[in-house]
Structure 1
């Protein structure tokens, strides 16, 4: 089916932490292949693999040194082909991460580019002369701390990097760079992948005039823990030239049957608007931002994301997630809004899987997994290492999957895991939840099945009711009424037009009166004209 992605559910796999088959403590492709039946049994449509390409791992694979080969820590191209074949045999699509905005500083092209100003790759990265006082050409900042320019003495120039100095940005204003990167995408399409997750898709182009970014127009009472957030990144990313390149990518994918792209919009300003723009008029199939990956857990917030997106881009398509490999897991992030983490995890599943758009589930969230508390000496993530203790980085959401309680590594490895598995996480293992109807895992399976069996939950429209906080209520496609209590307190509402429950948690119904306990959820079939109002 050509538009299989529309309303689909993708399961994100962080390869280092999914399953280790070799005993070295690092997950790999053979381990993923071994566990694919578990993923298929969940009822998802696709898997997304975070980067598995050859890399020095300065940023855990998001610094690519070879775009058409597998890093030995994960296996080989033959292992990749076997994994794709197994996934397709189980009815799963395969999406792989593409990190196109920048490469590793160990990439052969950058090694050549930094040697001189007149070699064949001299213009493949973003180079600039210093100001007369020797300082960088502008004020652009790097996301992982410090300035975004690093000096190269052989060229007497600075090079630009949005992230680490080990991650130099490609110069997308050079057509040869665009052509070459599209060629690497073609390599994987011809190898059978079903699509791409595009890392930092709004970072590809920079302002050719190298104008400085202004201060954030939202005044700060005190400096941020990361000064990057104190700028409005008007020139270092989000450039209009990006749209034409997205169209070129779409044209490439359209050469193949049933392939799709989802782009990550890394932006704190106007993210929903950019998502809409990037998925309209023959560009990306889908886009997602960090709007639902935030600390905000209010009905107004969730409603605003849906209404703003579809109101501004009726022909676009979003992808929503509550957790991923870059943020604190949502059960921990929102725990102050609950008295029971299990109830919060189930409510999160019901909310996510009834949203209009496509969905991404991050490995372990189907187990109700929580953030791992790590000590500084246990960290590997440059974000945590650079900003500790104000920000502890992303390792806490990247700790290995817990499959069973059989050994110290919870079935993930026969060796010592690359990140520790601690007791709060070890207790939420898959083996202990399979078959238990009250478990978070079986709740996800139930709700995934409900979404798959009802087209209206995948592609139907959304109509919200004007309920007071903390109640979120909406109708999907005229067929399902969804009501949520986003608080640890009991609330009551009046509900009309509601029939049988497709899913309930913490709900008491007495005629038109509905009592919602802490993190209560009701997904109801509609009979007649549905309405929800304050009791």
Structure 2
């Protein structure tokens, strides 16, 4: 199936934290391979591996020093080949991370580029002259704090780093850089990977005039913890030149059968939705994109509807990817906890809602267990933003703690050694083996809901038509060629009641009670309804 990714469910694996097989406290490829039965048993279609390439690990692999080698911390190329083979045996596609906007400062390309102004790779990175007083060339900030410019005394110039000082930005305006990036991607395509997740895909190009970014709107600035969000980043990213390079990438992937690319849009608000639409429009750009809109603290019907309708409007022929958690944000069960009385009810409602969205679905490891965010002490942190901005920003370590497999085993069965991040009691109590023994567990709810989605043509490929209901109710029809399902969710801890037409019947997983023409939704209740007709089930608030 050449477009296997349409409607698919992709399970993200954070390799450092999935399974440690060699006893060093850090997850590895052999460990992932040993646990693929669990992933396949969920009913998902693919796995996405966060970076496994050679790296000094200043940003946990998102600082790549060799694009075509496996870091020894995770294993070998042979073990990667074994992982792909086993995944394919189980019917799982394999998607790998590509961090292309920047490299590690330990990459041989940067070592050469920084050495002088006249070497063959002198223009492979973004270099700029200082201002007359020695200050950086413009006002661009780094995502991780401070200026996005670092002085290199050998060249007597600044280099751009949108992230850590140790992550210099590649100069994508250089044709040789683009060609080399594409060669690296071809290496993995020929090795059998089924797709790429493209990190910070809207950061590839910068304004060659190095113009200052303007300030963000005053209401946005007032909400920021750090300085990065105080600017509108119209010159340091989101550049129009990006489109032509995305087209080159698409030409490459189209040489191979059934491959795909999903881009991470590092931005917020309507800007992110607009970029998602722009990058996926037509058939010659990315196959799909995701932004951080669904990864936010906002848990209202208005927000979810606005996000989905924004994409529909901006890219009517594009394809979105939606997820609620990943390795960069606080886990959604903790992020939205104020909107529920019971974390399990929230976890079950979340998967029911996510699986009903039009597009491709992403699940982050541990979501299927309803894992909450791990609360860490400062002394336990490894993540640069947390170390720098604690306690207002606690970093990303809390969502990256190890997967828990056994409730009674030390370190949750993740490793025989002390893990790189601790396994704590609230997480270990939700281990896989404990949830296997409970028919009412979050794990079983995930399996049931994923199976329901896969069996429903309306869910996989149907269009979305929203229904006007007041907060906290989110409702819409998923309209397929042979079925229309009506999906309704109570996004609150207070019971809600709706009047429905008598032809309606409950189908699939639900947390609701249907009594003739009244639908009762308990706290975080949800339901899929079918009336056996194209227009779906009519809903209105009960008097």
Match in the other structure for 2:520? 515
**Aligned mates of 1:166, 1:237 — CA distance in 2:** 19
**Aligned mates of 2:223, 2:96 — CA distance in 1:** 37
Moved more, 401-410 or 345-354: 401-410
Count of aligned pairs between the two proteins: 535
1:372-391 CA deviation, whole Å, 9 max, x = no partner? 00000000000101110100
Of 501, 507, 512, 1:502 maps to 507
Of 422, 439, 458, 2:460 maps to 458
Give SS of 1:150's match: strand
Of 468, 478, 487, 1:482 maps to 487
Report deviation, 1:218.
4.3
Confirm or deny: 8 A CA contact 1:264 1:289 kept in the other structure.
Answer: yes
1:329-383 CA deviation, whole Å, 9 max, x = no partner? 0000000000000000000000000100000000000000000000000000001
Match in the other structure for 1:172? 172
Confirm or deny: 8 A CA contact 2:505 2:514 kept in the other structure.
Answer: no
1:472 aligns with 2:474: yes
Report deviation, 1:453.
1.1
Confirm or deny: 8 A CA contact 1:498 1:524 kept in the other structure.
Answer: no
Match in the other structure for 1:306? 308
Match in the other structure for 1:33? 33
Match in the other structure for 1:201? 201
Match in the other structure for 1:343? 345
Confirm or deny: 8 A CA contact 1:465 1:533 kept in the other structure.
Answer: no
Report deviation, 1:498.
5.2
**Aligned mates of 1:300, 1:220 — CA distance in 2:** 19
In structure 2, runs of 5+ residues without a counterpart are none
1:83-126 CA deviation, whole Å, 9 max, x = no partner? 00000010000000000000000000101111110011110000
**Aligned mates of 1:290, 1:223 — CA distance in 2:** 17
Alignment of 1:411-430 (within 5 A): 411-430=413-432
Q: RMSD value over aligned CA atoms?
A: 1.1
How has the CA–CA distance of structure 1 residues 531 and 328 changed in structure 2, closer, same or farther, with 3 Å as cutoff?
A: same
Report deviation, 1:61.
0.1
Alignment of 1:12-91 (within 5 A): 12-91=12-91
**Aligned mates of 1:225, 1:172 — CA distance in 2:** 31
Report deviation, 1:504.
4.5
**Aligned mates of 2:313, 2:503 — CA distance in 1:** 27
**Aligned mates of 1:244, 1:74 — CA distance in 2:** 34
Give SS of 2:68's match: strand
Of 380, 399, 416, 1:397 maps to 399
1:259 aligns with 2:248: no
Confirm or deny: 8 A CA contact 1:497 1:531 kept in the other structure.
Answer: no
**Aligned mates of 2:197, 2:381 — CA distance in 1:** 26
How has the CA–CA distance of structure 1 residues 328 and 68 changed in structure 2, closer, same or farther, with 3 Å as cutoff?
A: same
How has the CA–CA distance of structure 1 residues 54 and 196 changed in structure 2, closer, same or farther, with 3 Å as cutoff?
A: same
Give SS of 2:348's match: helix
**Aligned mates of 2:505, 2:401 — CA distance in 1:** 40
**Aligned mates of 1:212, 1:73 — CA distance in 2:** 40
**Aligned mates of 2:222, 2:312 — CA distance in 1:** 35
**Aligned mates of 1:495, 1:200 — CA distance in 2:** 44
Confirm or deny: 8 A CA contact 2:510 2:528 kept in the other structure.
Answer: no
**Aligned mates of 1:497, 1:118 — CA distance in 2:** 78
Report deviation, 1:263.
0.2
Confirm or deny: 8 A CA contact 2:502 2:516 kept in the other structure.
Answer: no
**Aligned mates of 2:303, 2:21 — CA distance in 1:** 42
Report deviation, 1:435.
5.2
Moved more, 80-89 or 523-532: 523-532
Match in the other structure for 1:534? 541
In structure 1, runs of 5+ residues without a counterpart are none
**Aligned mates of 1:388, 1:213 — CA distance in 2:** 27
Give SS of 1:110's match: helix
**Aligned mates of 1:204, 1:438 — CA distance in 2:** 45
Give SS of 1:165's match: coil
Confirm or deny: 8 A CA contact 1:481 1:498 kept in the other structure.
Answer: no
Give SS of 1:493's match: strand
Match in the other structure for 1:271? 272
TM-score, normalised relative to structure 1:
0.99
**Aligned mates of 1:531, 1:199 — CA distance in 2:** 41
1:46-69 CA deviation, whole Å, 9 max, x = no partner? 000000000000000000000000
Report deviation, 1:267.
0.7
Report deviation, 1:223.
6.7
1:175-234 CA deviation, whole Å, 9 max, x = no partner? 000000000000000000000000000000000000010000243574721110000001
**Aligned mates of 2:141, 2:525 — CA distance in 1:** 43
Match in the other structure for 1:150? 150
Give SS of 1:188's match: helix
Give SS of 1:88's match: helix
Report deviation, 1:481.
1.1
1:142-201 CA deviation, whole Å, 9 max, x = no partner? 000000000000000000000000000000000000000000000000000000000000
